[in-house]
Structure 1
Amino acid sequence: MAKDNKNLNKKPKLNPYWIYGIIIAIFLSVQIFSGGFGDSTGTQTTPAQFLDYLSQGEVSKIEIVNKREARVYLTKEAKEQSEHKKTEPNSIFPSVTPVPNYKFEFGDLQNFEKEVNEVIKENNLQTELVYETEHNVWGDFLLTLLPFILIIGVWIFIMRRMSGGGGGGAGGQIFNIGKSKAKLFDEKIDTKTSFKDVAGLEGAKEEVQEIVDFLKFPEKYTALGGKIPKGALLVGPPGTGKTLLAKAVAGEAKVPFFSLSGSDFVEMFVGVGASRVRDLFKQAKEKSPSIIFIDEIDAIGRARGKNNMSGSNDERENTLNQLLTEMDGFGTNTNVIVLAATNRADVLDSALMRAGRFDRQIYVDLPDVRERKEIFEVHLRPLKKEETLDIDFLAKQTPGFSGADIANVCNEAALIAARKGKKSVNKQDFLDAVDRIIGGLEKKNKIITPEEKRAVAFHEAGHATVSWMLEHAAPLVKVTIVPRGRSLGAAWYLPEERLIVHPEQMLDEMCAALGGRAAEKVIFDKISTGALSDLEKVTKQARAMVTVYGLSDKVGNLTYYDSSGQSEYGFTKPYSEKTAELIDREISDIIEEQYQRAIKLLENNKDKLTELAEVLLDKEVIFKDNLEKIFGKRAFENSAQLAEDQKETVEKNNQDILSKEEE
């Protein structure tokens, strides 16, 4: 049977060009056979020679065609003469109509007629003079059809372009407007990413890998009565690897994988989004088991009736309704799994998030220090780096960085090393890359007066001094007064990665942030606009303490934070005007208290602050070592280091236990 099917498939397909060729051949045949074949229209001669033949009585008929050409037909006796034998037609095919022996063109018709009539009259000849008007029927017919052929040809060309030319076309175009724009990945060609390429994300990888197992070995799970989950939603901050995880699923699943963005459903025409959803699931069901991946699903999955101020967008709601029906409605095919990614899960419709549609919500968080090390190892593979490069150090220097940020750091470090003409990328290049990404490009040629430079130096020295004196403030890495981006100076810290934060820790961080303005007040007895970013950071922290985390005694154990994100659509505050006044006063009191605390600390260490600022003015960039020379060892560093060592030991023990369980 298989061989028969193959033979059937090998039958020649009808090519439209064959039809065109046959039509052209028919036209040529008609043209050829209607007028004979070869040189069958008479031998060329001159008017003078013709008049000789006519006067000798050798011409039986003269045919004047279209008033410009004469065709000469000889008598039977003349044809037998050796002189005229060559004028006999030698066509392979016999002609139905008589063929002229001679032909020639004349000038003026009236003069030619006069000459011919005179010769006939003088010699008393029976020569017949006839007139013919010939038309090229097929030529005229083709000329008549030509405009219509051109119009039809142009129309067919435009229609094929609009419908994508049979190959999808750029943009989907008018006749494919309701078709899905999903890209189908072929596991043999398109997808090279696997779970080995995804560093970190252990929990998320485990859950997604289970979905791949469902598709590879469904009987393993259905044998116990379980059902394959219908969908999984990847939620997390931008750059954490949600799309990369989906690519790895496409590479590992070995099943058809349809990938598209949420915005691909949205179009200016009504009903297109719902039509594309239907077409997408129809294709997926035909190729089941299969996976559909919708990136940035919040483009169509936003909560209905809460889209914008002017009311809901009906087209987007229709698209969402169709998606809800396809995922869990009548006629749903369980062999199609939907993966989706978003960083705005709070605005998604609750009907989309329920079990039965997205059975699993996988949170893809920012990587911790151990996961950052794994991500660095992946992105450092293609780089020519120094053998002594400490990856643990790089992981610790990049707290709060996502996977995309780390990839950017590695690329920037390679570019910096190449700019400096190095043969390999070293530790300093990575530190410069981190500075470049966080602070912006160095602007050493920026015009700044000595007074401004001195103010910036004391401002940054104030930050460094206060953070050095406080237990819970982030440890300092370096301080610089070289302008970067929009800032005139910066202090770099290495914040501790905490899962929970205590009020003392937040207050110490706020005090350190206010150290810059406090230093200006202590040294110059006046303040400037240079503390804008510090004040913004401190105000947000204080407001969070009071209104979000309930860390204020006066306001109490209350929070006005709405995790569902619905409060942004309301016009009223969730508290009274009296409470609003209390919140504002409490925020102001917290900030002012930390500001006075910073001033007191700096007044007690004014000489050391001045010494540090002078060193900073001299060197422009100072590090932790410079602070240790002035202030001595930090009192709280030993306890912090001990806690970190204990944490690393616990993590190592947990990894050993997991590896033993796997064995």
Structure 2
Amino acid sequence: MSKIKSNKPRFNPWFLYGTIILVIIGFNFFSNSSGFGSSKTISISKFYDFLDKGDVEKVLFSRTSAKIYLTEAAQKATEDNKKSNNIIGQMSERGPEYLVDIANPELFEKKLEEARAEGKIKEYTPEKDSNWSDIFFSFLPLIIIIGFWLFMMRRMTGGAGGGGGGQIFSIGKSKAKLFDEKNDVKITFQDVAGLEGAKEEIVEIVEFLKNPEKYTSIGGKIPKGALLVGPPGTGKTLLAKAVAGEARVPFFSLSGSDFVEMFVGVGASRVRDLFKQAKEKSPAIIFIDEIDAIGRARGKSNFSGSNDERENTLNQLLTEMDGFGTNTNVIVLAATNRAEILDSALMRAGRFDRQIYVDLPDVRERKQIFEVHLRKIKKVDNLDIDFLAKQTPGFSGADIANVCNEAALTAARKDKKQVDKQDFLDAVDRIVGGLEKKNKIISPEEKYAIAIHEAGHATVSWLTEHASPLVKVTIVPRGISLGAAWYLPTERQIVRTEQMLDEMCATMGGRAAEKVVFDKISTGALSDLEKVTKQAKAMVTVYGLNDKLGNITYYDSSGQSEYNFSKPYSEETAKLIDKEISQMIEGQYQRAIQILTENKDKLIKLADLLCEKEVIFKEDLETIFGKRPFDKEIIEDTTEISPDNTAQ
């Protein structure tokens, strides 16, 4: 049964704080207004002086202390007289003028009896030692402190909603959210477009839980865990949500950071509690998102030498997944985009039997993802989804969702009732290149320099065989860039040396054009230099594409090299690597200068056209250069928009 929502107002802790403050203020006010707070403690000899002079009117005493009331004449004569008014401006009830500590009660009472016989005092009255109001007010500050501490601890542990009735020890309870037949989870496998291979393995796990006899009848065992690995935004968490919607078994969902707490031992306690709950409801599925928060390799980056709480949590997780007393009816799903830093003991078979790689979608899968996200968008009838899929290679599922949403916002901004093709193109431009800055002030000289720079990129890419085909060139500022060239690079599974060199040459075309036309260079090629430096370094140190260094790589796929303070090569090798990287970049720079020098008139003509129109397309380049001789028929999944930005 679902919980009935209460209409009672939520408790505000500030009411409690205000009440505590008012009680303390009221206690001090009334104690002072009664005259007790202004009473002065005197010595016993001083009291006997008052008694001998006949200045004492009344004495109230116990076995340890006495309250002294003076006569009216003595009150006027003493300098310690203090009168207090109550809240309506009238004189409050009179309190004792002095307090006296009694060491010998029998002697004190004898002195009072003698004074009354001599007529020096009118009355004296013994009091009970125990006064419940005094006892209560004396312990009131301690009671308030204890109550406030208990209240704060209850708030820290989640209140009554936490396990164990909101008590302090419920902090070790699991924070996993449970999805079962009582919860309405609307996401199913139909909402997960693409990811066919990953979805096939996940569906098999769900099917095993629904119909285990199908597999156990021939000796198969249920997998203990499956690890979803892939770049951010590819749909790992969405796939887990679909499992929660499809499975007819309890599904516990939480993040890796939910095990992390400021108290020692809490992470391991929560792991134990999580698996205890799952075993009680078995067969069940546990999903841990961003497991790298607790699954990082042990013994790394722990320079303090102290015990690491995260390692204790990981050790407990390893034991629960595959150790003594484990239950095979609990399956663990986990997701991460940093599988290389996970502990090897966590990755082995028997804990995560399957590692499912969730890759970026291809053109066919992008079309399916567009169809899912376009269901809720009012679009024109003739919208070409195939075209949208071709224009967004390299985009993840989250990126495509963002494109659809941005296109809808763009159409609404233009007061359109339906989203059309141009809105999607504008959305892609905005996401990749940034917001268009139409009001940015650029001088004519800078505008022409930017046009020469972008025309240089376009010219070199047009005249080199393996460079990416051009889509359009713009000098309209977007984001931090002053201009951009948009390409449709081929989606390759492997890349050859000449292909990477042609890409580097086209990237250096902007700076080379400035050198050819102005015989000067500027800071506008910052992003270009960063790009080619990374490409050259990867060719030399990662892919082994350099003749001088040979077939060797310094790339560590395990990710453990990030903890090393030393380079994996000698100083002489480091000098050789720097030299080869520099020569490779300079060689392509000189090649770009040669190409642009041979086509300088066309370069200037293209720059002039760019200054006039601000945005030019592939057809404009065909008018100036003719048909690109290297163009081939582009198949469906070989296009991608890749802007080349000119940094400010």
Range into which the TM-score falls when normalised by the shorter chain: 0.7 to 0.9
Provide the residue aligned with 2:235 in structure 1: 241
* Contact 1:305/1:311 (<8 A) preserved: no
Q: Is 1:579 equivalent to 2:554 in the alignment?
A: no
Q: Is 1:315 equivalent to 2:309 in the alignment?
A: yes
Range moving further from structure 2, 601-610 or 183-192: 183-192
Instruction: Write the distance in 1 (CA, Å) between the matches of 2:528 and 2:330.
Output: 51
Offset from partner CA, 1:526-549 (integer Å, 9 cap, x none): 000100000100010011111111
Q: Is 1:335 equivalent to 2:335 in the alignment?
A: no
* Contact 1:234/1:342 (<8 A) preserved: yes
Provide the residue aligned with 1:596 in structure 2: 590
Instruction: Write the distance in 1 (CA, Å) between the matches of 2:439 and 2:636.
Output: 43
* Contact 1:307/1:313 (<8 A) preserved: no
Range moving further from structure 2, 187-196 or 257-266: 187-196
Q: Is 1:561 equivalent to 2:555 in the alignment?
A: yes
Instruction: Write the distance in 2 (CA, Å) between the matches of 1:423 and 1:647.
Output: 33
Q: Which has the higher contact order (CA 8 A, sep 6+)?
A: 2
Instruction: Write the distance in 2 (CA, Å) between the matches of 1:483 and 1:510.
Output: 23
* Contact 2:159/2:166 (<8 A) preserved: no
Provide the residue aligned with 2:629 in structure 1: 635
TM-score (norm: length of structure 1): 0.73
Change in CA separation of 1:350 and 1:524 when aligned onto 2, cut-off 3 Å: same
Q: CA deviation at 1:165?
A: 3.9
Q: CA deviation at 1:313?
A: 5.6
Q: Is 1:618 equivalent to 2:635 in the alignment?
A: no
The one-letter amino acid of 1:363's match is Y
Offset from partner CA, 1:170-215 (integer Å, 9 cap, x none): x988432100000011345331111100001000000111110111
* Contact 1:193/1:248 (<8 A) preserved: yes
Provide the residue aligned with 2:256 in structure 1: 262
Provide the residue aligned with 1:481 in structure 2: 475
Q: Is 1:253 equivalent to 2:247 in the alignment?
A: yes
* Contact 2:231/2:337 (<8 A) preserved: yes
- The secondary structure found in structure 2 opposite 1:381 is helix
Instruction: Write the distance in 2 (CA, Å) between the matches of 1:233 and 1:532.
Output: 39
Q: Is 1:548 equivalent to 2:548 in the alignment?
A: no
Alignment of 1:286-301 (within 5 A): 286-301=280-295
Q: Which runs of 5+ in 1 are unaligned?
A: 1-139, 649-663
Provide the residue aligned with 1:347 in structure 2: 341
Provide the residue aligned with 1:491 in structure 2: 485
Instruction: Write the distance in 2 (CA, Å) between the matches of 1:172 and 1:226.
Output: 43
* Contact 1:306/1:312 (<8 A) preserved: no
* Contact 1:399/1:495 (<8 A) preserved: no
* Contact 1:240/1:402 (<8 A) preserved: yes
> Which of residues 261, 264, 272 is equivalent to 1:278?
272
Q: Which runs of 5+ in 2 are unaligned?
A: 1-130, 640-648
The one-letter amino acid of 1:348's match is L
Provide the residue aligned with 2:529 in structure 1: 535
* Contact 1:602/1:609 (<8 A) preserved: yes
Alignment of 1:25-64 (within 5 A): none
* Contact 1:443/1:484 (<8 A) preserved: yes
Instruction: Write the distance in 1 (CA, Å) between the matches of 2:307 and 2:491.
Output: 42
> Which of residues 197, 202, 205 is equivalent to 1:211?
205
Q: CA deviation at 1:635?
A: 1.1
- The secondary structure found in structure 1 opposite 2:482 is coil
Q: CA deviation at 1:168?
A: 3.0
Aligned residues: 505
> Which of residues 219, 225, 228 is equivalent to 1:225?
219
The one-letter amino acid of 2:588's match is Q
Alignment of 1:396-545 (within 5 A): 396-545=390-539
- The secondary structure found in structure 1 opposite 2:485 is strand
Q: Is 1:191 equivalent to 2:181 in the alignment?
A: no
Q: CA deviation at 1:450?
A: 1.0
Offset from partner CA, 1:349-381 (integer Å, 9 cap, x none): 000000000000000011111111111111111
Change in CA separation of 1:310 and 1:530 when aligned onto 2, cut-off 3 Å: farther
- The secondary structure found in structure 1 opposite 2:473 is strand
Instruction: Write the distance in 2 (CA, Å) between the matches of 1:646 and 1:458.
Output: 32
Q: CA deviation at 1:423?
A: 1.2
Change in CA separation of 1:311 and 1:618 when aligned onto 2, cut-off 3 Å: farther
Offset from partner CA, 1:379-402 (integer Å, 9 cap, x none): 111111111111111111112111
Instruction: Write the distance in 1 (CA, Å) between the matches of 2:601 and 2:394.
Output: 35
Q: CA deviation at 1:161?
A: 4.8
Alignment of 1:139-218 (within 5 A): 161=155, 164-168=158-162, 174-218=168-212
Change in CA separation of 1:380 and 1:143 when aligned onto 2, cut-off 3 Å: farther
Larger-gyration structure (1/2): 1
Instruction: Write the distance in 2 (CA, Å) between the matches of 1:172 and 1:593.
Output: 69
* Contact 1:162/1:175 (<8 A) preserved: no
Change in CA separation of 1:162 and 1:459 when aligned onto 2, cut-off 3 Å: closer
Provide the residue aligned with 2:55 in structure 1: none
Q: Is 1:370 equivalent to 2:346 in the alignment?
A: no
The one-letter amino acid of 1:288's match is S
Offset from partner CA, 1:585-620 (integer Å, 9 cap, x none): 111111111111111111111111111101100111
Change in CA separation of 1:222 and 1:544 when aligned onto 2, cut-off 3 Å: same
Change in CA separation of 1:511 and 1:287 when aligned onto 2, cut-off 3 Å: same
Instruction: Write the distance in 2 (CA, Å) between the matches of 1:365 and 1:465.
Output: 34
The one-letter amino acid of 1:300's match is I
* Contact 1:172/1:181 (<8 A) preserved: no
Instruction: Write the distance in 1 (CA, Å) between the matches of 2:296 and 2:638.
Output: 41
Instruction: Write the distance in 2 (CA, Å) between the matches of 1:235 and 1:285.
Output: 26
- The secondary structure found in structure 2 opposite 1:339 is strand
Q: CA deviation at 1:582?
A: 1.2
Change in CA separation of 1:525 and 1:311 when aligned onto 2, cut-off 3 Å: farther
* Contact 2:491/2:637 (<8 A) preserved: no
Instruction: Write the distance in 2 (CA, Å) between the matches of 1:548 and 1:351.
Output: 27
* Contact 2:390/2:638 (<8 A) preserved: no
Instruction: Write the distance in 1 (CA, Å) between the matches of 2:271 and 2:523.
Output: 53
Provide the residue aligned with 1:108 in structure 2: none
Q: CA deviation at 1:280?
A: 0.3
The one-letter amino acid of 1:633's match is K
- The secondary structure found in structure 1 opposite 2:547 is coil
Q: CA deviation at 1:298?
A: 0.5
Offset from partner CA, 1:70-117 (integer Å, 9 cap, x none): xxxxxxxxxxxxxxxxxxxxxxxxxxxxxxxxxxxxxxxxxxxxxxxx
Q: CA deviation at 1:311?
A: 4.8
TM-score (norm: length of structure 2): 0.75
The one-letter amino acid of 1:260's match is L
* Contact 2:554/2:568 (<8 A) preserved: yes
- The secondary structure found in structure 2 opposite 1:176 is helix
Q: Is 1:383 equivalent to 2:354 in the alignment?
A: no
